[in-house]
Structure 1
Amino acid sequence: MKKYFFLSIFLFQLLLTQACVPDGNVTKLQFMPDMADGPVAKVLRSYLDPPENSVAMNAIFYPESPEEAEQVLESPYYNQRHLEEKLQDGKKLYGDYCTPCHGKLGKGDGTITDKYPRPPDITNDYYKEKKDGFFYYRIVFGGDLMPSYGHAISNIERWKIVLYIRKLQTLD
């Protein structure tokens, strides 16, 4: 009797497991199918290619090299009112982002220069001859050992830093 009891339980469980097999022809209901069935695009591709010879509405031009940036980019802050206020903003931003490597006066004597190669003195004659676009490019894309700050500093703040660098160059 005990033998038939265990056999009947086993057959009952086998019958239950067969009842749980999913049916491929039945439409499943989805709860909140927000992005479950959306179209899939390849990585870094848009869904539609723009028309030929079109220009993006809010595109920002970034030169390909520091030399090109030096020729093309100009600071929007010269000959404007409230220049002193922009210089103070530039000084604060320079203190936050540039001072650890370049030092307070731009001489390349920052606080971390004992562990890393010394950054250049941006107040020497070589850098005084460079145009504003050069410094803007270096802030956005970095340099030989300088990291890029394009992700952290806005367009307006970059020009304020360049303005303050120019002021540091006149302090010699």
Structure 2
Amino acid sequence: MKALQILSIVIILFGFSQCGSMQFDKNPPFKIISATYQNWVGGQPGVKGTNVKIQFTSTKTIQFDSIYFDNRVAKLETKNSNDNLLIGYFNTSSIKRDIILDANPTKELKNPVLEIKKFPFDLKENEAVISYKINDEIKYYKINELIKVNSTNLLK
């Protein structure tokens, strides 16, 4: 019974240490000017996605890595025109990959293995987390107010 108590305490402490390692940076070396997202639909049935655009300013060089949004992860792309711009492209298409179904199970071994990963953050609909590196240390910053842009808003 005592071993069970010690094991449960170790598991609880390990669980809290995992949450503590993913704390958000309160004072990042950049300032978010605007953060928007837009859903899009392609020309073929089932082809769709979401683009997240983040405009920022910074006096330091920052290596942006990923964006976590809508229970998905995407690599961030940096666009430098007049303003610094980060873009995350999320493919939400419903087109399925071809899988092999056969009476002979050895032919089905070529099918890709489905990976189920737990999403590391609990986010609301208009929240996102971006990861970036400074001095080889990965940091996370939470954006609380992403604004949804409709295609009708773009025409104004």
Q: For the superposition of Structure 1 and Structure 2, which TM-score range results when normalised by the shorter chain? A: under 0.3
TM-score normalised by structure 2 residue count:
0.22
TM-score normalised by structure 1 residue count:
0.21
Q: Which has the larger radius of gyration?
A: 1
